[in-house]
Amino acid sequence: MQSEKEKMLAGELYDASDPELVADREAARALTQWYNDTDPDQHERREALLGELFGTVGENVAVEPPVRCDYGYNVHVDDGFYANFDCVFLDVCRIDVGRNCLLGPGVHVYTATHPLDAAARIEGPEYGKAVEVGDDVWIGGRAVLNPGVTVGDRAVVASGAVVTNDVPDDVVVQGNPATVVKELD
């Protein structure tokens, strides 16, 4: 029989009130609090805390506090990742971010979602869908990536965009829902 954590990681319906998951979220809250309380010159402490919090951290990674996440261990960022202030990662499933990606202030990445059927939703189970961001992507401030989306290489997600569908390589998307407004050379 699968644990609730195994179900969550597999993108299946799971019970978020499971004690193991509650403990994992509390550990992530503690790590983010410690990270968010660091001084700007505490580079080594930030690097160590981010290494504990995130599942994978590449080289030359910078995350401006405050940052928030559900579990942390499902966030995987490659070399050259930068996240500006107030980013949120609801990481019940994997969030994979490629090389040289830039997140503006207040970017939210959601993998967590709930059943559409009201009766099922009221019962409390939830599930997730992984999010993938390619290499060399720029995501503007206050943009939202919804569960299950993939953002292609070298794409630009404009400020305030709400990404509800996959974004191809080499395009600019904007709006709610985000649509392609320009192809890049």
Of 43, 76, 108, 114, the active-site residue reads 114
Kindly report the backbone phi and psi dihedral angles of residue 118, in degrees, each rounded to the nearest multiple of 5, phi listed first. Answer: -60, -45
**108 among known catalytic residues:** no
CA 142 to CA 161: how far, in whole Å?
A: 7
Q: Identify whether the C-beta of residue 135 lies closer than 8 Å to the C-beta of residue 99.
A: yes
98-133 in b/e form (b: 16+ CB < 10 A) is: bbbbbbbebbbbbbbbeeeeeeeeeeeeebbbbbbb
Q: So which residues are the catalytic ones? A: 114
